[in-house]
Structure 1
Amino acid sequence: MKFLERLAQNAPLFTRSQQAIAAFMQNNVEAIAFSTLETLSRQIGVSTTTVIRFSRAIGYSGFSDMQAAVQNEIQQKSSLPERLDSIGHESSNQLLKDAFEMDHENIRLTLAAQKDADLKQAVDWVSNSDCVYILGMRSSFSLAYYMASRLGEIKKNVRFIQSTGMLYPEEIVGAESGDICIAYLFPRYSKTATNILRWLRSRGVKVILITSMNYTAVQSCGDVILPCAIRSVAYKNSLTAPICLTNYLVAEFARQNYEESKEVLSRTESVLSSGYYLGL
């Protein structure tokens, strides 16, 4: 159920203070998405505790859950030109400060959202897999390439699903049980990517899905879900937190599979040292 629908459904049950909060939020949806709890509380004129209780009253687990849901709805609805308008009135100095502070918050929220059991499962699956497929489309392509290049240096049989020239069916037809797919999937979600993931899962391939904090729409595409905060001052999602998570996964794989990583890395280095770089 969408945010405004929740407000409407619960309106008859609101107390007087909750009615005031609902009225403000209904007319200031973007303030919920991009303000801190403290700032939003001051704007409404209530305590932070009251806002948290209100978010729970309309069915969310807390303010962060409500904010993530609203952010996701905005990202799904807004066109790229509309997103660009949001940064048109910022000064350069303020934009620089906001960009760094927002990515710092993204990293903090992403770290807090991780579950030890899910991280362990993800690394164990990669360690024990016959083949690892890496998938990411449009903006997520850069994340997938980064993961494929880093993991491919220390593990055999890492395959980057490039989908160049729409060759993706041929790139995945050999996938089977025992293989793993690491997929990056963020709003606005690629229909092609979700189709690929569902097909892979039908073949018994386990999917490690790195996605946004509110992942309800794509939950069925992954076996283990690693959520990331992706708020940005720009017109596109921030990829800072997913990159941090990628760095961790590669480092933890290398730590747990030291001998294999060293062997593959030595092979990689032997190729690079045979005249790959200019002057070497």
Structure 2
Amino acid sequence: MPSSVDARPVGATSPGTYAELRDRLAGGSIKLPRRLQQVAAYALAHPDDVALGTVAKIAEDAGVQPSALIRFAQTLGFSGFTDLQAVFRERLLSQVTNYDERLMSLRATGGETSKAGMLLDGLCKSATQSIGQLHARIDIDSVERATRILAEAETIYLVAQRRSFPITSYLSYALGKLGIRNILIGSAVGTDPETISFATPRDAALAISFTPYAPATIAHTRELGDAGVPLVVITDSPFSPLASDSRIWFEVVETDFQGFRSLSASMALAMTLALGVADRRQG
């Protein structure tokens, strides 16, 4: 008879890498109770903290008991939390931590070939792969529903910060050219909360954020949701803090090249929504 402490599913094998772990959690093949979902969401949003923290500190930050971390590890096929933490530490060791190191890596892999050619080739391949994955996995019915929500809005609020901000800034330009009223959240004078306070359920919002999720984007999205504003979200994980607040959300994972990620797939989806809104408005 199996021990009552062993929470591992029968025949489960533990993920060997962080990428495998993330794919297993995001794929929906493992059904987690609420507390363990909380642990999973925290772990994917704060992988560095999980790699370096103590059980007590990680549990405190995740808002769970330390025993939940052990149950989470065993559910994934690990014998204990230490083995799970080793996967996060391996990710941290192999991760390029700053842009100078990334550029050094790029130069080192260039050999005698043209550096510009190598860069262009690598970035084009990663962009092509990102768009290919989006095209293969996207649910067109969800795109149609999101387009309808945005098209019916009096004003579309565009919410993003940091790496995601170029998407909403270009989207604001495109929507403006298409004659669609929108408000870009991201004021340099810090008046975003006041701007958001004008939103009503007759409006809609498109929020975009990727790991590590921008705190301002999370806060603004929740404010809009609390005001009854319909939310459409583009993010990179079912455990994203934005996903639970949205009416419709899309998972977009950009392939990286030497630690750099383009926004090709995210931009393609955003522009699909913008053109779809314009088409519905004209119809």
Matching residue within 199, 212, 216 for 2:239: 216
How many Å separate the matches in 2 of 1:221 and 1:114? 20
Matched, 1:151 2:175: yes
| 1:220 Cα deviation after fit | 1.6
Contact 1:133 1:181 in 2 (8 A): yes
Matched, 1:117 2:141: yes
SS at match of 2:211: coil
How many Å separate the matches in 1 of 2:26 and 2:208? 28
What is the aligned partner in structure 2 of residue 49 from structure 1? none
How many Å separate the matches in 2 of 1:249 and 1:169? 25
What is the aligned partner in structure 1 of residue 58 from structure 2? none
Matched, 1:132 2:141: no
What is the aligned partner in structure 2 of residue 90 from structure 1? 109
What is the aligned partner in structure 2 of residue 250 from structure 1? 274
| 1:90 Cα deviation after fit | 2.3
What is the aligned partner in structure 1 of residue 129 from structure 2? 105
The residue type paired with residue 124 of structure 2 is: F
Q: Gaps spanning 5+ residues in structure 2: where?
A: 1-5, 30-39, 49-91
Which is richer in helix?
1
How many Å separate the matches in 1 of 2:19 and 2:156? 41
**Are residues 75 and 106 of structure 1, via their aligned partners in 2, closer, same or farther at CA, if it must alter by over 3 Å?**
farther
What is the aligned partner in structure 1 of residue 55 from structure 2? none
How many Å separate the matches in 1 of 2:26 and 2:177? 45
SS at match of 2:109: coil
Matched, 1:167 2:191: yes
The residue type paired with residue 207 of structure 1 is: L
Instruction: Please list the CA deviations of residues 211-233 of structure 1 after superposition, one character each: whole Å capped at 9, or x if unmatched.
Output: 11x23132223211022121211
How many Å separate the matches in 2 of 1:76 and 1:217? 13
Q: Gaps spanning 5+ residues in structure 1: where?
A: 1-7, 34-54, 63-68, 260-280
The residue type paired with residue 98 of structure 1 is: G
| 1:74 Cα deviation after fit | 9.2
Contact 1:130 1:157 in 2 (8 A): yes
The residue type paired with residue 204 of structure 1 is: G
Instruction: Please list the CA deviations of residues 92-138 of structure 1 after superposition, one character each: whole Å capped at 9, or x if unmatched.
Output: 35544332222111001112222122111111111111111011101
Deviates more, 1:90-99 or 1:121-130: 90-99
SS at match of 1:166: coil
The residue type paired with residue 211 of structure 2 is: P
**Are residues 224 and 97 of structure 1, via their aligned partners in 2, closer, same or farther at CA, if it must alter by over 3 Å?**
same
Q: CA RMSD in A?
A: 3.3
**Are residues 217 and 229 of structure 1, via their aligned partners in 2, closer, same or farther at CA, if it must alter by over 3 Å?**
closer
| 1:81 Cα deviation after fit | 5.5
Matching residue within 254, 260, 264 for 1:240: 264
Contact 2:233 2:250 in 1 (8 A): yes
**Are residues 61 and 31 of structure 1, via their aligned partners in 2, closer, same or farther at CA, if it must alter by over 3 Å?**
closer
Q: TM-score, normalised by structure 2?
A: 0.64
Instruction: Please list the CA deviations of residues 8-39 of structure 1 after superposition, one character each: whole Å capped at 9, or x if unmatched.
Output: 9649845xxx6xxx5xx63xx26859xxxxxx
**Are residues 11 and 207 of structure 1, via their aligned partners in 2, closer, same or farther at CA, if it must alter by over 3 Å?**
closer
| 1:75 Cα deviation after fit | 8.5
How many Å separate the matches in 1 of 2:187 and 2:282? 31
Deviates more, 1:145-154 or 1:88-97: 88-97
SS at match of 1:209: strand
**Are residues 144 and 30 of structure 1, via their aligned partners in 2, closer, same or farther at CA, if it must alter by over 3 Å?**
same
How many Å separate the matches in 2 of 1:227 and 1:233? 19
What is the aligned partner in structure 2 of residue 230 from structure 1? 254
SS at match of 1:82: coil
Percent identical: 18
How many Å separate the matches in 2 of 1:109 and 1:83? 27
Matched, 1:187 2:211: yes
